């Protein structure tokens, strides 16, 4: 191994985004040390990356067990590394009754990683944040608005709060304060709804949007949309940020365009006419009522009547290329789900 080769720690390497970041880091010639909470998932990650690179890359890939809520795990996990690409977080498919299930790993996990990084002499850190830290609690109740990296979510002004937004916002606020006080060279990357092809059957929660539409699991979808991010763009932006010293101290939105649910359904219906893709939308008035009794609706109702656009031009400049075309993101997602056997093959 080249003694000058840098070692990057990818936290949460078993995740949808974490695996893609590790893949890109290996492609760029780095040694990758992946952290995982569940050691049983190591074999799948190894098999996934070996299928892409062969045995040579496996010499540059290692693993260490580390739990975000266990501060004593992190000194060993980070020892001797040159940088941390912190993507680990707790993502759940439904809003939990106990929000700390999501908030604590986000906030305390970020604290544990950064404290250990400082102790290990690591200066360079790139964190996967979210548009959830940017575009909420700002009196946007109706119409179209565009957000930039200068915007911050105000948790105190949100009518309907959800755990992911709280955890991500508090974690990022802490990270910037800690970096300023301790001389860390920090960059944050802010995806929206992350879609794009999963690398293996352990796919992310967000990709369930595509599998759900393809299989007709929801009989109707909300009449709204979201800022789209391709997982490949997200991974590439982490590497670009790490390699570009001008990114230090910067936040980057990694968002291509506003994507209505209706448009995604139409694309999937056209590509897979035999799939039971729903055509109906859920009335907004019903969503408002459901928000009082169904916790999962509380994130959705924040965006009813809104078009929240997130200006990804700064992130595009960091990438040095255009974002993956939105049509490719949607269709590559569907194709990967079919190829992996996660949804039936409906034909084209």
Nearest-5° Cα angle at 18, 12 to 24: 140
Q: Measure the CA–CA gap between 97 and 103, rounded to whole angstroms.
A: 12
Q: Which residues of 28-39 are buried (b: 16+ CB within 10 A; e: fewer)?
A: eebbbbbbbbee
Mean pLDDT of 52-80: 91
**Per-residue confidence (pLDDT) for residue 93, from 0 to 100:** 59
Q: What is the mean pLDDT of the chain?
A: 89
Neighbours of 312 (CB within 10 A): 28
Question: Is residue 155 predicted with pLDDT exceeding 80?
Answer: yes
Q: Measure the CA–CA gap between 152 and 131, rounded to whole angstroms.
A: 9
Query: Tokens in use for 233?
Result: 């763009």
pLDDT digits (tens, 9 = 90+) for 262-284: 999 999 999 999 999 988 876 56
Question: Is residue 2 predicted with pLDDT exceeding 50?
Answer: no
pLDDT digits (tens, 9 = 90+) for 177-218: 999 999 999 999 999 999 999 999 998 788 988 998 999 887
Q: Is 164 helix (H, G, I), strand (E, B) or coil?
A: helix
pLDDT digits (tens, 9 = 90+) for 217-264: 878 777 778 899 999 999 999 999 999 999 999 999 999 999 988 999
Cβ distance 24 to 235 under 8 Å?
yes
Question: Is residue 58 predicted with pLDDT exceeding 90?
Answer: no
Q: Is 187 helix (H, G, I), strand (E, B) or coil?
A: strand
**Per-residue confidence (pLDDT) for residue 34, from 0 to 100:** 97
Question: Is residue 324 predicted with pLDDT exceeding 90?
Answer: yes
Q: What is the DSSP string of 65-120?
A: E--TT-GGGHHHHHTT-SEEEE------SS--SSTHHHHHHHHHHHHHHHHHHHHT
Cβ distance 37 to 66 under 8 Å?
yes
**Per-residue confidence (pLDDT) for residue 289, from 0 to 100:** 43
Q: Measure the CA–CA gap between 248 and 273, rounded to whole angstroms.
A: 47
Please give the share of the chain, as a percent, with pLDDT higher than 70: 89
Residues 36, 38, 44, 45, Cα dihedral to 10°: 0
Question: Is residue 159 predicted with pLDDT exceeding 90?
Answer: no
Q: Measure the CA–CA gap between 234 and 195, rounded to whole angstroms.
A: 10
**Per-residue confidence (pLDDT) for residue 285, from 0 to 100:** 43
**Per-residue confidence (pLDDT) for residue 1, from 0 to 100:** 37
Question: Is residue 14 predicted with pLDDT exceeding 50?
Answer: yes
Mean pLDDT of 2-25: 89
**Per-residue confidence (pLDDT) for residue 3, from 0 to 100:** 40
Mean pLDDT of 322-334: 96
**Per-residue confidence (pLDDT) for residue 132, from 0 to 100:** 93
Give me the residue label for tokens 């975000």.
68
Cβ distance 23 to 52 under 8 Å?
yes
Give kind and range of the element (H or E) at residue 338. helix 326-339
Q: Measure the CA–CA gap between 146 and 139, rounded to whole angstroms.
A: 13
Mean pLDDT of 307-335: 96
Sign of CA dihedral 264, 87, 205, 93: negative
Give me the residue label for tokens 């293996």.
200
Beta bridge partners of 239: none
Question: Is residue 298 predicted with pLDDT exceeding 80?
Answer: no
Q: Count how many Cα atoms sit within 13 Å of the Cα of residue 26 in the half-sphere of its side chain.
A: 27
Domains of the chain (ranges; CATH) run 7-339 (3.40.50.720)
């Amino acid at each position: 191994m080249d003694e000058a080769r840098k070692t990057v720690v990818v936290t949460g390497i078993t995740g949808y985004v974490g695996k893609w970041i590790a893949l890109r880091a290996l492609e760029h010639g780095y040694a990758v040390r992946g952290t995982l909470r569940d050691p049983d998932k190591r074999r799948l990650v190894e098999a996934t990356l070996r299928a892409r690179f062969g045995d040579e890359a496996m010499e540059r890939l290692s693993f260490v067990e580390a739990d975000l809520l266990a501060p004593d795990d992190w000194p060993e996990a980070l020892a001797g590394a040159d940088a941390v690409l912190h993507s680990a977080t707790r993502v759940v498919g439904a809003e939990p009754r106990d929000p700390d299930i999501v908030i604590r790993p986000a906030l305390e996990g970020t604290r544990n990683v950064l404290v250990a990084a400082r102790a290990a002499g690591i200066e360079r850190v790139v964190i996967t944040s979210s548009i959830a830290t940017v575009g909420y609690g700002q009196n946007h109740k109706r119409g179209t608005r565009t957000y930039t990296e200068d915007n911050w979510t105000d948790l105190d002004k949100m009518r309907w709060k959800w755990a992911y937004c709280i955890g991500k916002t508090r974690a990022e606020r802490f990270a910037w304060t800690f970096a300023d006080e301790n001389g860390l060279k920090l960059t944050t990357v802010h995806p929206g709804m992350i879609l794009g092809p999963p690398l293996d059957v352990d796919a992310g929660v967000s990709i369930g949007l595509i599998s759900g539409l393809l299989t007709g699991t929801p009989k109707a979808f909300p009449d709204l949309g979201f800022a789209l991010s391709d997982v490949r763009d997200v991974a590439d932006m982490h590497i670009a940020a790490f390699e570009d010293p001008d990114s230090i101290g910067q936040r980057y939105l990694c968002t291509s365009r506003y994507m209505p649910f209706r448009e995604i359904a139409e694309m999937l219906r056209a590509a897979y006419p035999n799939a039971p893709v729903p055509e109906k939308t859920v009335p907004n008035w019903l969503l408002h009522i459901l928000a009082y009794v169904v916790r999962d609706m509380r994130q959705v109702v924040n965006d009813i009547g809104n078009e929240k656009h997130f200006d990804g031009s700064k992130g595009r400049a960091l990438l040095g290329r255009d974002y993956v075309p939105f049509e490719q993101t949607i269709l590559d997602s569907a194709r990967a789900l079919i190829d992996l056997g996660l949804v039936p093959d409906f034909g084209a």
